[in-house]
Amino acid sequence: MIAPRSRGVYVGLALCTVTCAGLFAMVGRGAGPVDNEVFNLYAGAKLGPRNLYNPESYRAAAVSLGAKVMEARLYYCRMPYYAVFTRPLSWLSYPAAVATWRFVQILAIASAIVLWPGRKSTMAMVALVSLPVVWEVVLGQDVALVLLSVAASVALARRGHGFLAGVVFSLCLAKPHLVVFVPVAMLALGNLRFLAGATAGASLQILLSFAVAPASWPRQWFAILSNPQMHPHIQAMPGLRAVAQTVPGIALAALIIASLAAAIWKLARRVPIEETIAYALAAGIVGNLHSYAVDCILLIPAIALAIGSRQVFQRGLGIFLATPLPYLAMVVGFPVLLQTGILAIVHLAFARVVRLKPAAFSEVAK
């Protein structure tokens, strides 16, 4: 016989799967066949590492596909090594490349859930009802690969393979601003092997960029990153760019980032590594100047932790962040619901470990 608890999990997964199908049906109807994030990666792979940072080349690529894309997709925002990694996309027709890339993102999310220690059924249900996951797949973004890299590095670190964990983590170099609090946690733990591995892996990717692209690529790349066209719709960002537009706003943003760093530092010394990294990923969604709704798939581990909490408020907060409401509010220019929820999750966890007596730390780590 199936145990009642297992039956409940299966029912929950079934309901979440139906919800997921409904979300895909609604969001997918408005998706353009060319104007998506795959276009930028596909065109970059076609152009090659030596010709990545000329927006007019991307405009011509869009015309060759018989379409017009939004201005931000004409700017390649990754280092040249990424065009080497994604070169196989250029061997396919564009529709086949889009389908392949979407499948890769689905596989990456599923693999991350399998690799993440504990709470797999809860994480799966959160992923299935996650509007950011639907946007990630439909738009063909690549933040799912960041989630997979972090999950794999956490699994390796738990097994004592610190250096290799760091090398795998370095694959997040495509979106380093989203994972900046992970090294903070590892530094707090004194995990120098992880940091050495991450440095070695990142260095190899940067050296590859110099090997395949002109020596001027860093200047061209930084010019792309500083271009305002790369940061449209700042009022719909879960990060702090909209806040940091004035001197008082910059001060507030600095205070928020400092508080998040302090919370992650303390958590790293008091809770299991997978919990610390879950909160570090959540902190990274807010504590940066360039993030969008799709990047919120990195909240999945922290939301799963909150839903599994014994604290009613924290559990309710996790359920709220799993629903589409805060993300819909964000994309219409009201990100404060999501930002407040993320800050609450991180700082409630911080407050909990601060209240614990030293003798209870071992119980938290179990």
Q: Determine the pLDDT at residue 366.
A: 39
Rounded-to-integer distance, Cα 80 and Cα 87, Å: 11
Q: Helix or strand or coil: residue 308?
A: coil
The mean-pLDDT minimum among 24-28, 51-55, 245-249 falls in: 24-28
Mean pLDDT of the chain: 91
Per residue in 132-142, pLDDT tens? 999 999 999 99
Instruction: List C-alpha distances in Å: 34 to 45, 67, 90.
Output: 15, 7, 14
Residue 1 or residue 320, greater confidence: 320
Q: Which residues of 308-345 are buried (b: 16+ CB within 10 A; e: fewer)?
A: ebeeeebeebbebbbeeebbeebbeeebebbbebbbbb
**In this model, does residue 229 exceed pLDDT 90?**
no
Q: Determine the pLDDT at residue 356.
A: 63
CA 314 to chain CA centroid, nearest Å: 22
Which two tokens mark 340? 């407040």
Q: Determine the pLDDT at residue 25.
A: 86
Total Cβ atoms within 10 A of residue 84? 17
> Of the candidates 260, 282, 332, which has an alpha carbon nearest to the alpha carbon of residue 126?
282
Q: Determine the pLDDT at residue 363.
A: 41
Largest CA distance in the chain: 66
Rounded-to-integer distance, Cα 53 and Cα 223, Å: 9
Confidence of residue 70 (pLDDT cuts 50, 70, 90): confident
Q: Determine the pLDDT at residue 177.
A: 94
Which two tokens mark 178? 């989203």
In degrees to the nearest 10, what's the CA dihedral of 42, 45, 49, 55?
A: -30
Q: What's 160's DSSP letter?
A: T
Average pLDDT of span 62-75 = 88
Which two tokens mark 342? 């993320």
Q: Are 81 and 206 in contact (CB under 8 A)?
A: yes
Q: Are 135 and 293 in contact (CB under 8 A)?
A: yes
The answer, as to whether pTM is greater than 0.85, is: yes
Confidence of residue 255 (pLDDT cuts 50, 70, 90): very high
Residue 272 or residue 359, greater confidence: 272
Q: Determine the pLDDT at residue 90.
A: 94
Which two tokens mark 72? 């931000």
The mean-pLDDT minimum among 11-15, 197-201, 216-220, 348-352 falls in: 11-15
Report, in this order, helix, strand and coil percent for the chain, each rounded to 5: 75, 0, 25
Q: Are 296 and 134 in contact (CB under 8 A)?
A: no
